[in-house]
Amino acid sequence: MMERALLALLLAVAAGVVAFVLRRRQQTEAPTQPSFQAPAQLDRREFARPDAPWLVALFSSATCDSCALMREKVAALASDAVAVDDVEVGARKAVHQRYAIEAVPIVCVADAEGVVRASFVGPVSATDLWAAVAEARNPGSSPEPHLGRDDA
């Protein structure tokens, strides 16, 4: 009788261990959270005025209130030296996908080779945006040279 009880106990423990191992194998990993990062490099041929020395690209959505505010701030930067391009997801979804844009607004300030010198994820003040563009174009010109930079 004692042997049967001991055998039953051993079988119950073994079954519990097997169930535990199977359950752990079946659990799915929690989804990774999106990073919401700005691209580090842009192909200038995909954006307005690729011959301009500087580009300010706004990745946006027509349904985004913050994007509408950013659109006005970015448009004010347009000049002979600075091309401005509003990359709206509905009109240019392929560009959003190519650069893995997962959130809007994202603003990128890129040089003639497409290297992103400053960027902002989310809304930013006109003062900070304009200072970041000035600093990218003329290093040392801004009292806050870290604006829009990852290494800040």
37, part of any domain: no
38, part of any domain: no
101, part of any domain: yes
Look up the domain containing 82 and give its range.
44-137
pLDDT at 68: 95
Q: Specify the number of domains making up the chain.
A: 1
Q: Tell whether omega for the bond before 145 is within 30 degrees of 0, i.e. cis.
A: no
pLDDT at 152: 46
61, part of any domain: yes
Q: Is 131 left (phi over 0), alpha (psi -120 to 50) or beta?
A: alpha
pLDDT along the chain (152 residues), means of 10: 69 72 66 75 96 97 95 96 97 95 95 96 93 89 66 48
Q: What is the CATH number of the domain that holds 123?
A: 3.40.30.10
| Sequence-ordered list of residues with C-beta below 8 angstroms from that of 75, at least 6 positions apart, any chain | 84, 86
Q: What is the pTM of this model?
A: 0.74
